[in-house]
Chain A
Amino acid sequence: MPTSAPPPSNYPTRSEDLIGRINSVHTPYEAKLKALRELKNQIIGNRTKKLAFLKLGAVPSVISILSSAVAENGGGSNLEFNEPVIIQSAAVIGSFACGLDAGVKAVLDAGAFPLLFGLISHPNEKVVDAGARSLKMIYQSKLAPKYDFLLEENMDFLLSLLNSKNENVTGLGGSIITHSCNTSMEQEKLSEAGVIKMLISLLGGSLIQRDASLESLGAIIKENPGVISKFMRPENGRALNVVTELIKDRYPRTRLLACMCLILIRNTSTCYLQDAGIKTKLILILLELIDDPGQVGDEAPFALSSLIAEKEDMQKIAFDSNIVDKLCNHLEKGSFQAKRLQGIFLALADLCSKLECCRDRFLSLKAFNILTDVLTHDSPEVRAAACICLKNISRSVKNLSAGHFMNEAVIIPLVQLLHDTCTSVQIAALGAISNIVVDFTAHKSKFIHCGGVKQLVQLAKSMDSTIRVNAVWALKNLMFLVNSTCKEEIFLELSPSMLISLVCDPETSVQEQALALVRNLIDGSIDSVEYVFAEDGLLLNAIGRQLQSASKVEVLIQGMYVLSNVASGNEFHKEAVMNQLFPQAGSDTQTILIKFLQSTDSRLRTASVWALVNLTLTNSPDANARVMKLQSAGIVCQLKNMVNDPCQDVKLRARMALGQSGEHIRTWDAFIKVSIFSLLLVEMEIVKFAFIFSVSSMYQFPFFVSCPVPWLQHVVVGD
């Protein structure tokens, strides 16, 4: 064996020569074995070479050698080399399939699967090892075909794998389960066949068996409370305790897999693992695992994220364990694989999704600058994770009003990301922008001036409805309390015809956001109301049509708020609203307004009563005529039924509308007016509307009737 062979000086020729030797029928068997081994040593650990040899067609050649060696096995003239050739070719096939989807595809296309499965029952243990290892590699790829557990012979074969004494073979059994067990039916089938019991006994086996068992246990119990309760049964002994012990194991991979198993159990069945001790332990162990330089460190933040996502109690415990600082320290160390960076930002995003203390802490650390830096990272997954993180931090009303995010370091890369080639990045960026543009200070023009609006409007025309809804959402929030110059600019960019088509979008979620956008557009000065009469009133007509025909209550709510805001305008505006609400004057058909007032959804009742309050304001000359019309349509009668509405909001506004309609419920003097208004104000503060009113406008009469909507994005859209 050469100890220091010269490296390839003319590498392509050498590769081709090697493939030539493997392909040629003239190559003696012994030389073929040598060539196979050389190929194996060239490609192991070397992605570049794997790709190069794939191009040269190495995979089909090697598989045909394996195929004829298997056929000759036990006979033929090359007995001495037969099994070594099988072992080497199986190893080569496994290496091509290792960590390279193109390799897996080539291996599967060339028909290696049945050949490799055949090796599992070979008498030579080394051949079995080689076959099992290669199959394991293939099963680690998403491209591997799904193993059908519902077929009886397949289940029998799987059980025989798990029962094997050879740990590579039991490991293969585990990989098959991890790869192919996805539905609850499959989980139950495996559990009925006694697989859980076998896996629990493998937990006591070797390192490889333990890890394989933990991973497949995870696949079997995931989101399946029934199977979890089976796992917990007393006949399984102290299975949970065994797994809990393993989170302290000496091997990082074992610790990680055991943690993931426990997380799956507690995320599915909330009755287990609820004591504070185990919660803290899981968090600390996962934090420590992020230090691992290899794959474990890449996967640990994802496990951490699944542990804390959507669970405020866990986030609090994590915060108390100083997690924000620790994660940020990792970021500051730098030079990570993209996967780890993505995981850390996702975990930070989860932490900042609810707790203000986490957001404050993160903002106070240097690592926040890293967040803005990675908005331009090479990997789309990292860019998307950074956007999601930014979105969650900017849910903080306090930090938004402090103007922490409306600066060029954040906005310019974010607007760039709207052009991203990757849809998930665009959606994540839209989410972050939606929140940041709410910005309560006067920074909105910055966003407009760096081309943000143009691009948002482009994306609002996207064919992808998720992008469309998020783009309109962002525009709506940008429109929230914006000054009139900016409003004009945004409106021109949008164009009335586009607004109309968004209001009539086939997706109801887009309709809802588009109506809310109009609601914010016409909020503010009376001049703003004029926008809704654009295109000869076509926009208002489109909104009226949606109110007549839409069935989704959220669409109706926004539609009614638009009408409320229009009704806060002058006489002409109020009349236009009446025309939308009572399109066929004098007809017998029940007006939609009655339907809305009787809705079981209090939000729709509130919006509708609000419109009535604005329509009946007593300081306008034609109010009486409108009240008459409302009376004859049965609206006043309906309002009387609502003076004791279970919803406080509806109750107060219904009484107000009635009072304005001349129906005396109580002494309607100025004192009471003021007290009701102050009550309303208190309420509004609770629903976070109060901050939109400036103190100076406090006592102007219709000040509260126009209500814009800032909605911070609280859901991770599109993931």
Chain B
Amino acid sequence: MSYLLNQLNAIRHLAEIEAMATSKKVITREEWEKRLNDVKVRKEDMNKLVMNFLVTEGYVEAAEKFRLESGTEPDIDLATITDRMAVKKAVQCGNLEDAIEKVNDLNPEILDTNPQLFFHLQQQRLIELIRNGKVEEALEFAQEELAPRGEENQSFLEELERTVALLAFEDVTNCPVGELLDISQRLKTASEVNAAILTSQSHEKDPKLPSLLKMLIWAQNQLDEKAAYPRINDLSTGALEDPAV
């Protein structure tokens, strides 16, 4: 973890110095590491980042353990994570009715004020009915629950038409809208509902760590134009690789 922050800080530092330089400067590994060591990152800040990741991604048990071990307080009631994960899981397993009821128990405002999310959950429910071959039920559900939403919103109508098109194909795996039956569609819906619950709890919907990684890659790319330096290419290990001279 700290490699990431250190690297970022060192890059920033260097970029400031290098801003005026015209030709590419070469920085040796030794020099770079010295710079890295000069950068101080507070342990509490790193712990907070870790906690933020665990909470946002829904790792309740890990978060609980980490709280005990590091003394970092999560910025959200851990019990609410359990509820949120139950919703996410229900969507991932295709139990949409269950998921909807759980969201409504958690906070009835979420689906009442977020028509797009509600539509996507209902659409997913329709997809599950089609997947299970319940054609009549699917048609009835589409007509009664989804068609009125399509009347309220043009883009919903288009999505609904695309979904119902699944019924028209014998071999759905090879039809143009086949991707709706893909497991990735469930994951997409699950992450949408996860984000909405987090927002309703005043919590950031994305963990901070991935954006930090994105920042690292961006910063390294920027610096590449100005200097040769020990780069981190393997993000999983964070190992520094010697500059090609």
6 A-B Cβ contacts within 8 A? A3-B97, A3-B98, A37-B105, A41-B100, A41-B101, A336-B154
- A2: B residues at CB distance < 8 A: 97
Q: Which residue of B lies closest to A100 (CB)?
A: B112
Stretch at the interface among B136-144, B163-171, B177-185: B136-144
Report whether A293 and B115 are in contact in the complex, using a CB–CB cutoff of 8 Å. no
- B173: A residues at CB distance < 8 A: none
Q: Would A337 and B137 be within 8 Å (CB), given that A44-B104, A167-B202 are in contact?
A: no
- A293: B residues at CB distance < 8 A: 116
Q: Give Cα A40–Cα B104 distance, bound, in whole angstroms.
A: 8
Q: Give Cα A9–Cα B144 distance, bound, in whole angstroms.
A: 10
In terms of DSSP, what is the predominant structure of the interface of chain A?
Answer: loop
Q: Mark B85-116, 1 if CB is under 8 A from A, else 0.
A: 00000000001011011001101110111111
Q: Give Cα A95–Cα B152 distance, bound, in whole angstroms.
A: 18
Report whether B118 and A133 are in contact in the complex, using a CB–CB cutoff of 8 Å. no
In chain B, positions 184-218 with a C-beta closer than 8 Å to chain A are 199-200, 202-204
By Cβ-Cβ distance, the 6 closest A-B pairs, closest first, are: A206-B202, A45-B118, A207-B202, A335-B154, A48-B148, A45-B111
Q: Which residue of B lies closest to A3 (CB)?
A: B95
B128 touches which of A4, A94, A167 (Cβ 8 Å): A4
Report whether B113 and A98 are in contact in the complex, using a CB–CB cutoff of 8 Å. yes
Q: Give Cα A11–Cα B141 distance, bound, in whole angstroms.
A: 11
What's the least CB distance linking A697 to chain B, in Å? 56
- A335: B residues at CB distance < 8 A: 154-155, 158
B104 touches which of A9, A41, A48, A251 (Cβ 8 Å): A41
Report whether B108 and A94 are in contact in the complex, using a CB–CB cutoff of 8 Å. yes
Q: Give Cα A4–Cα B99 distance, bound, in whole angstroms.
A: 11
Q: Does A5 contact B (CB under 8 A)?
A: yes
A7 touches which of B113, B114, B144, B203 (Cβ 8 Å): B144
Q: Does A91 contact B (CB under 8 A)?
A: yes
What's the least CB distance linking A253 to chain B, in Å? 9
Report whether B113 and A99 are in contact in the complex, using a CB–CB cutoff of 8 Å. yes
Report whether B153 and A337 are in contact in the complex, using a CB–CB cutoff of 8 Å. yes
Report whether A7 and B148 are in contact in the complex, using a CB–CB cutoff of 8 Å. no
Report whether B137 and A6 are in contact in the complex, using a CB–CB cutoff of 8 Å. yes
What class of interface size applies to chain B in its complex with A?
35 or more
Q: Does B145 contact A (CB under 8 A)?
A: yes
Q: Which residue of A lies closest to B198 (CB)?
A: A207
- B144: A residues at CB distance < 8 A: 7-8, 11
A91 touches which of B97, B100, B108, B114 (Cβ 8 Å): B108
Question: Could you list 10 further interchain pairs (A-B, Cβ under 8 angstroms) beyond the known A46-B148, A133-B108, A207-B203?
Answer: A2-B97, A3-B97, A5-B97, A11-B144, A37-B101, A91-B104, A95-B112, A133-B107, A207-B199, A250-B204
Report whether A99 and B112 are in contact in the complex, using a CB–CB cutoff of 8 Å. yes
Q: Which residue of A lies closest to B199 (CB)?
A: A207
Report whether B154 and A1 are in contact in the complex, using a CB–CB cutoff of 8 Å. no
What's the least CB distance linking A290 to chain B, in Å? 15
What's the least CB distance linking A571 to chain B, in Å? 68
Q: Does A647 contact B (CB under 8 A)?
A: no
- A357: B residues at CB distance < 8 A: none
Count residues of A near B (Cβ-Cβ below 8 Å): 37
What's the least CB distance linking A212 to chain B, in Å? 11
Q: Does A294 contact B (CB under 8 A)?
A: yes
Q: Name which of A4, A45, A47, A137 has the most chain B CB atoms within 10 A of its CB.
A: A45
Report whether A133 and B140 are in contact in the complex, using a CB–CB cutoff of 8 Å. no
Q: Give Cα A592–Cα B140 distance, bound, in whole angstroms.
A: 80
Q: Give Cα A618–Cα B169 distance, bound, in whole angstroms.
A: 92
Q: Does A208 contact B (CB under 8 A)?
A: yes
In chain A, positions 30-77 with a C-beta closer than 8 Å to chain B are 37, 40-41, 44-48
A1 touches which of B98, B129, B203 (Cβ 8 Å): B98
Report whether A1 and B101 are in contact in the complex, using a CB–CB cutoff of 8 Å. yes
- A564: B residues at CB distance < 8 A: none
- B141: A residues at CB distance < 8 A: 7
Q: Would A46 and B137 be within 8 Å (CB), given that A40-B108, A167-B202 are in contact?
A: no
Q: Does A213 contact B (CB under 8 A)?
A: no
Q: Does A180 contact B (CB under 8 A)?
A: no
Q: Give Cα A203–Cα B154 distance, bound, in whole angstroms.
A: 36
Q: Give Cα A98–Cα B118 distance, bound, in whole angstroms.
A: 14
Report whether A4 and B97 are in contact in the complex, using a CB–CB cutoff of 8 Å. yes
Q: Give Cα A208–Cα B95 distance, bound, in whole angstroms.
A: 30
Report whether A46 and B109 are in contact in the complex, using a CB–CB cutoff of 8 Å. no
Q: Mark A1-37, 1 if CB is under 8 A from B, else 0.
A: 1111111110100000000000000000000000001
Report whether B114 and A9 are in contact in the complex, using a CB–CB cutoff of 8 Å. no
Q: Does A305 contact B (CB under 8 A)?
A: no
- B128: A residues at CB distance < 8 A: 4
Q: Give Cα A293–Cα B156 distance, bound, in whole angstroms.
A: 12
- A9: B residues at CB distance < 8 A: 140
What's the least CB distance linking A655 to chain B, in Å? 67
What's the least CB distance linking A333 to chain B, in Å? 10
Q: Give Cα A209–Cα B101 distance, bound, in whole angstroms.
A: 26
B108 touches which of A5, A95, A209, A250 (Cβ 8 Å): A95
- A41: B residues at CB distance < 8 A: 100-101, 104
Q: Which residue of A lies closest to B96 (CB)?
A: A4
In chain A, positions 299-335 with a C-beta closer than 8 Å to chain B are 335
- B114: A residues at CB distance < 8 A: 45, 294
Report whether B108 and A251 are in contact in the complex, using a CB–CB cutoff of 8 Å. no
Report whether A44 and B108 are in contact in the complex, using a CB–CB cutoff of 8 Å. yes
- A4: B residues at CB distance < 8 A: 95, 97, 128-129, 132
What's the least CB distance linking B110 to chain A, in Å? 9
- A99: B residues at CB distance < 8 A: 112-113
Report whether A44 and B112 are in contact in the complex, using a CB–CB cutoff of 8 Å. yes
In chain A, positions 59-117 with a C-beta closer than 8 Å to chain B are 91, 94-95, 98-99
What's the least CB distance linking B137 to chain A, in Å? 6
B199 touches which of A5, A7, A251 (Cβ 8 Å): A251
Q: Give Cα A44–Cα B113 distance, bound, in whole angstroms.
A: 9
Report whether B107 and A208 are in contact in the complex, using a CB–CB cutoff of 8 Å. no
B115 touches which of A3, A45, A137 (Cβ 8 Å): A45
Q: Which residue of B lies closest to A2 (CB)?
A: B97
Q: Which residue of A lies closest to B144 (CB)?
A: A11
What's the least CB distance linking B151 to chain A, in Å? 9
Q: Give Cα A47–Cα B97 distance, bound, in whole angstroms.
A: 18
- A40: B residues at CB distance < 8 A: 104, 108
Report whether B112 and A7 are in contact in the complex, using a CB–CB cutoff of 8 Å. no
Q: Give Cα A607–Cα B202 distance, bound, in whole angstroms.
A: 67
- A337: B residues at CB distance < 8 A: 153-154
Q: Which residue of B lies closest to A96 (CB)?
A: B112
What's the least CB distance linking B127 to chain A, in Å? 13
Q: Name which of B112, B148, B199 has the most chain A CB atoms within 10 A of its CB.
A: B112
